Structure 1
Amino acid sequence: MTLGTVLRAPVSRRAWAEIAYVLVNTPLAALGFAYVVATLVLGAGLAVSAAGFPLLAAGLVGARRIGGLHRGLAGRFLGERIEAPARPVAAPGPLGRMQTRLSDAVGWRTMGYLLLKFPVVALQVYVLTLTWVWGVVLVTRPLQNALDLNQGIPGSHTLFDNGALMCVGGVALLFLAPWAMHVATVPDRLLARWLLGRRGLQERVRNLEETRAHAVDDAAATLRRIERDLHDGAQVRLIALTMQLTMVRDVVTDEAARALVDNARATAKEAVVELRELVRGIHPPALDHGLDTALTTLAARSAVPVETEIALAARPTAAIESIAYFCAAELLANAAKHSGASRIRLSLTQQDDRLCLRVHDDGRGGAALGGGSGLSGLLDRVRTVDGRIDVSSPPGGPTVVTVELPSHA
């Protein structure tokens, strides 16, 4: 620190920015403190009724917005560039949105910031008064004496008889004031970083979850587009080619040429069948009408009688629907092929934003994860969206396979 820095400190941009910050924040801190106290008191007081938790959830949303205002002020006046935390992904439905807001850690941290902000600002106001305000008062003491501005103030002559000495003390205070104010803003800076910004690993995990969700949804959309292109493009052309080869066969009289045309037509038909299987494996057309319809259709095509019980409160995302469908298809195929079951029960329920797919058969049992079985492939599939598989299959049966998936990737 040079002498020039010390001499320029009282008129520096940083000094005036910190003064403006304290002056602007003082009423905002008081209002924020009152807002949090009122939200907590009313939310807790009305918790016994239906209004308490919605009020608290709305209060947390408001706190987030107030926190954004304080981040902006800290960046503008203090140079603190605090990255805004990620917004939580709201669960579907009014109840789901309220639960998401009540469990929002950022909202609760912001409320803590607003509570702690008030005493911190009170300290800043005290430092501002003690240094800047008193420094100006003491520096102007000779002028006050010359204008008799202190007449009638009790003790004014005994306390400030030496105007020159008071002026020197005021100048010292004014040179000390910028450094004192800068120190007084340190707790505010730390609180803003810890409570209003992103929180390291927690925010990193949330960002990765959101990135993964977008990647899964994009992959599902891409596969669906490929399915449409194959269905409406290549498949239609192959069918047209088969028809043209049939027409050629009808007009060709040479037996050798007819045999070649027959082989080409058979190959084209095989290609159409394979392409249809490929399209069905990418995106089953039944899913266009919803997962419940797709599973009902799948159960109707099973070689073993299947009893279905499907209860969906809200439609899952396309990626989750696709995973659930292929899991059900694989489990039904395994039960029909390997278990020797005479009856299968398939159920799908949705609770707390989670899907629970359960396939129960009365076969011989003995199914297990691992060993390169189809169940291992399902495990890899559901893990991409933080799903899980539980298998209960003692020797002699029954076999119960439970697949849990989030409603949204």
Structure 2
Amino acid sequence: MSWATDRESSPRPGLIGWLGSALGDLAGWRAVAYRLAKLPAALLASGTAAGLWGSGLILLSCPIWWRAPAAAHLPVETWPRALLASAAGTALLLLAPWAVRAALVPDRLLVRALLGPARAAARIHELEVTRAQAVDDSAAALRRIERDLHDGTQARLVALAMSLSMVKEELAEAGRDDRLDRTRGLVDLAHRNAKKALTELRDLVRGIHPAVLDKGLETALATLAAGSALPVDLHVDLPRRPSAAVETIAYFCTAELLTNAARHSGARQAVIELRTRNGLLRLHVRDDGSGGAAMGRGTGLRGLADRVRVVDGTMEISSPPGGPTVVTVELPLPTWTGATCAS
């Protein structure tokens, strides 16, 4: 029986049920097919191993037995010929491991095709991994939102409430000039706290889902390019809008890559190209920085790769020392929305 089954099933009761289960056992039929096809592959591997190792050992030992009466019919009549045969035997022994390895290729292909996991099982496993990553990413995002609200915005709103409470108390005794001056200072403080709280809330909402994406991915990328610390050349060719999930991933990938280029690479210019081709959305982000970017350095690029894998996308990085750095993100486009891309 194969070591990877397509499905687990228990035989149904009765002779007919047992026969039906046996005949419907796809993994069992694959194992039977492997055993039938294994015989010629095993003969090929065994013959190759026996022929090369045996012939090599016989020829290698030729200087020992070439004068024996039993070897009189062999074309080895002098010492030079015996030494030449020994050298040929050495060459065969050195070649034997590689030849045997090549002879085992058919058997390995049979194992992979007939005993290995089916494509459906491999696809299910890949989807389980990406689903787990999506769940972990969502949980991490929720924890980040809770932490930002608790440590930042909530604290500022509490300070604002306290300041306003003190203003009310001061206004109750605002008959003296010194009280009015103190009230003005408290109002200014409350105003500053309110502005900071609004700014943090705006950044938090933008981190969850940028409002500019409602106008389309092209407009959102143009906004990113305009607000970048680097001069950015933007080239977008989208005949129609992709799905919301693909738009969001492409936007955050672009934002993170532009931020990395501005902060870490010493780049002077960046180029963003967005195209659709063969059912894929292809995003190229290039900068003329010092290079050296790699997936294993830091969590930013690794996080982007995990985000891209959630929709079965891919991300490639080319960043030799000295630059340039080119990151290519490909996202599948299974569905389209009816709206056209904003210009």
Normalising by the residue count of structure 1, what TM-score does the alignment of the two structures yield?
0.42
Normalising by the residue count of structure 2, what TM-score does the alignment of the two structures yield?
0.49
